Amino acid sequence: MTVQQQARLTLAAIAREAGVSAPTVSKVINGRHDVSVETRAKVLAVLARTGYKSPLQQRRTLADKPAVEVAVDSLDSAYNIAVLNGVMECAVESDIEVLLNLTGIQGASPVNPEQRAQRIVDEGRCGMIVVTSAFGDAPLDAFHRRGIPVVVIDPLNPPSEEVVSIGSTDWAGGKDATTHLLGLGHRRIAYLGGPDNVECNQARLHGYLAALRSHGVSVEDNYIISGPFQTDHGARGLDALLQLDPPPTAIFAGNDTVALGVLAEARRRNIRIPEDLSVVGFDGTSKAEESVPSLTSVAQPLQEIGRAALRTVLRQLRGEVPDSRRVELATHLVVRESTAAPR
Amino acid sequence: MTVQQQARLTLAAIAREAGVSAPTVSKVINGRHDVSVETRAKVLAVLARTGYKSPLQQRRTLADKPAVEVAVDSLDSAYNIAVLNGVMECAVESDIEVLLNLTGIQGASPVNPEQRAQRIVDEGRCGMIVVTSAFGDAPLDAFHRRGIPVVVIDPLNPPSEEVVSIGSTDWAGGKDATTHLLGLGHRRIAYLGGPDNVECNQARLHGYLAALRSHGVSVEDNYIISGPFQTDHGARGLDALLQLDPPPTAIFAGNDTVALGVLAEARRRNIRIPEDLSVVGFDGTSKAEESVPSLTSVAQPLQEIGRAALRTVLRQLRGEVPDSRRVELATHLVVRESTAAPR
DNA sequence: CTGAAAGCGCTTACAG
DNA sequence: CTGAAAGCGCTTACAG
């Protein structure tokens, strides 16, 4: 007895199943008018039930993995790389293609968001992950209107209602970092933060303030310095803080990049870390691990954030409504060499 | 006289044009093996000239920007990131989409190269850049047979004749690094290299040997150690070299990663760099610049290599025959803190 | 390795 | 409206 091979689902098979001829099925599929209402209904029912796909469609679904676009401003950032890695991991598991869009490249034609969104629809892409602030609210709206899921990771500004954003527990992380320093015995702790108007920075600052207050440590206004999330800002910030009387014995930096700027400047000045000064960073990028001395840092689960972003896009595609417009994953403090008790 | 309607571009038309049968054209398009090299070339030429598209492709290209796939084994590599950056820059200028394929991800389904190549054709993608050794020769051949331009960057093994590869002047770079150390007065110089069988490593080693010979310095066999391009290998290599009598006063490492392993191990042993030991790396990644002490390294123009890779793909698409199957861009030595005269 | 012939799946033209 | 027949474009199986 021959094992009946699973017959391929052809138009002819549909015709047989529906009790009509192949040409009739063809007409239904192609939206022709010369088919009676009853016949059409019968055929459509069989098509739906069997999930028939034309050869073209068959090849397409074999060939056309769904694709998601990831917009990142630059690859010169351990933060971005870690997030991208997480997205890629999830993409591999879910069999999704990833299109990389480097928004920060010099000479990149200014993105017309309407066109871009339209193109993404036309090409059958299924979503967009933004790991940068390069897209403001208006562009994101262009996607939203077309029903393309968009997830923003750690947006610099609070995104519009429509967009799902993923980030970390910045407030708790700021509190943890500061509590760690307080626990070591520090009382003169500076916050060398990021840009004033950036959400995550504000949350970290307020976590810092909360920790100080709950330990009854008074907050010195001139111990709080804001600026760009850049190495230079760390170096200049250390310079400014050292001029104070008394100077801080510990610095909580708004992110690892700033903290590494502090370490570099301290080295130039022969300030020993952690003996003379404790430093804590934020992000927990690979740079924190690799620096000398290695950097105590509030680690964000960056890889997991990337994975969660793609998972959220896929969930939205399935029509699920996200529980929340904002997801925050837990940070955790990683203590390394750059912090110790004050002398 | 009837105006001859512009005949639709069918496979049969291509066959007529190329002077072969339709089945033969079909075979070429589908990457079958049973076509002679000459016939394949003839057909591919006609396909390229006429811009034939399969029915599937005809549907697709309406909305699609051309897209290139970039295969990288991992993002945890400053080398890969720099190359990817270069590719992205060129992609932005040329208005090309980039699909990122992380070949090294755990659980990635083992790539079936035939399927993958077919998919790329079906989706109207225009080429492939491989920044990793994840694809051996056989897979690359699957692309070649379909006339998809493939460019391999710094292949671990010499790629087949058909594939264009881009790399650096590894031999000259190895010679430069060694000459630099010789110029500082070192005579006991070790080569702590990469895997024996890897082309670029062999070239660097031979550049090292050439420099030593031309300075009349005899080569000590036990000063030459090979191993993986990893930090650990640098640490273990330093350990082994220090047991020698006499130990080297300088180490030329096969790449920056290995060199950083040497620096880390030296730090653990309180060996001062460069006072007690000079170290030179290879690649000139950002890690070389950021390490403490900063690392003298033979810089590859990684960004430019990435750009050149995409430019080469685009040129092949235009039907231009590359001048050479192998392009080497010039390295240059960047002297930093990790090298000095021996004591 | 090549291509005539057969085949596949869908579509079109048209007789009923 | 319907479907037998012819046709289209591509692919497969196989003889040479």
Mean pLDDT of A236-259: 97
The yes-or-no verdict on residue B342 having pLDDT over 80 is: yes
Query: What's at B332, amino acid-wise?
Result: H
Contact by Cβ (8 Å): B129, B153: yes
CA of B26 to C1' of C8 (A): 15
Contact by Cβ (8 Å): A248, A238: no
Is B107 close to A122, i.e. CB distance below 8 A?
no
Give the pLDDT confidence of B189-200 residue by residue, as tens digits: 999 999 998 989
Q: Is beta strand A278-283 parallel, antiparallel or unpaired with respect to A296-299?
A: parallel
Q: Say which range, A260-269, A299-308, B110-119, has the weakest mean pLDDT.
A: B110-119
Mean pLDDT of A187-200: 95
- What pLDDT is attached to residue A172? 98
Tokens 């890889």 belong to: A303
Sheet holding A296-299, edge to edge: A224-225, A189-192, A250-253, A278-283, A296-299, A332-334
Determine which of B85, B102, B114 to mutate to test the interface with A (most A C-beta atoms within 10 Å).
B102
In chain C, which nucleotides are within 7 Å of a protein Cβ? 1-5, 8-13
The yes-or-no verdict on residue B186 having pLDDT over 80 is: yes
The yes-or-no verdict on residue B49 having pLDDT over 90 is: no
Contact by Cβ (8 Å): B50, B29: no
Contact by Cβ (8 Å): B252, B178: yes
The yes-or-no verdict on residue B294 having pLDDT over 90 is: yes
- What pLDDT is attached to residue B323? 78
Could you give the 3-state DSSP secondary structure of residue B136? Answer: coil
Distance CA A234, CA A256 (A): 10
Burial label for B41, CB within 10 Å (0-12, 13-18, 19+), is middle
DSSP A217-242: PPPPGGGEE---SSHHHHHHHHHHHH
Give the confidence band of B313 by pLDDT, cuts at 50, 70, 90: very high
Mean pLDDT of A211-216: 97
Q: Say which range, A126-140, A267-281, B12-26, B95-109, has the weakest mean pLDDT.
A: A126-140
The answer to whether A102 contacts chain B (CB < 8 Å) is: yes
Q: Which residue's CA is nearest to the C1' of nucleotide D8?
A: B10
Is B75 close to A85, i.e. CB distance below 8 A?
yes
Top pLDDT among B111 and B54 is at B54
Which domains occur in chain B, in start order? 3-52 (1.10.260.40), 67-167+302-329 (3.40.50.2300), 170-300 (3.40.50.2300)
Distance CA B70, CA B303 (A): 14
- What pLDDT is attached to residue A325? 87
Q: Say which range, A25-39, A83-97, B159-173, B304-318, has the weakest mean pLDDT.
A: A25-39
Q: Say which range, A87-96, A113-122, B118-127, B317-326, has the weakest mean pLDDT.
A: A113-122
Contact by Cβ (8 Å): B187, B154: no
The yes-or-no verdict on residue A253 having pLDDT over 80 is: yes
Mean pLDDT of B21-25: 92
The yes-or-no verdict on residue A239 having pLDDT over 90 is: yes
- pLDDT averaged over every residue in chain B: 88
Give the confidence band of A4 by pLDDT, cuts at 50, 70, 90: very low
The answer to whether B268 contacts chain A (CB < 8 Å) is: no
- What pLDDT is attached to residue B209? 98
The yes-or-no verdict on residue A63 having pLDDT over 60 is: no
The answer to whether A267 contacts chain B (CB < 8 Å) is: yes
Contact by Cβ (8 Å): B325, B163: yes
Mean pLDDT of A307-319: 90
For residue A166, the cross-strand partners are: A153, A327
- pLDDT averaged over every residue in chain A: 87
The answer to whether A89 contacts chain B (CB < 8 Å) is: yes
Contact by Cβ (8 Å): B253, B287: no
- What pLDDT is attached to residue B29? 87
Give the confidence band of A2 by pLDDT, cuts at 50, 70, 90: very low
Contact by Cβ (8 Å): A174, A204: yes
pTM of structure = 0.82
Question: DSSP strand E in B194-245: where?
Answer: 224-225
Distance CA A150, CA A162 (A): 9
For residue B153, the cross-strand partners are: B166
The yes-or-no verdict on residue B8 having pLDDT over 80 is: no
The yes-or-no verdict on residue B110 having pLDDT over 60 is: no
Cβ pairs bridging A and B (under 8 Å):
83
Cα–Cα distances (Å) from B160 to B70, B77, B192, B216, in that order, read: 19, 26, 28, 37
- What pLDDT is attached to residue B124? 62
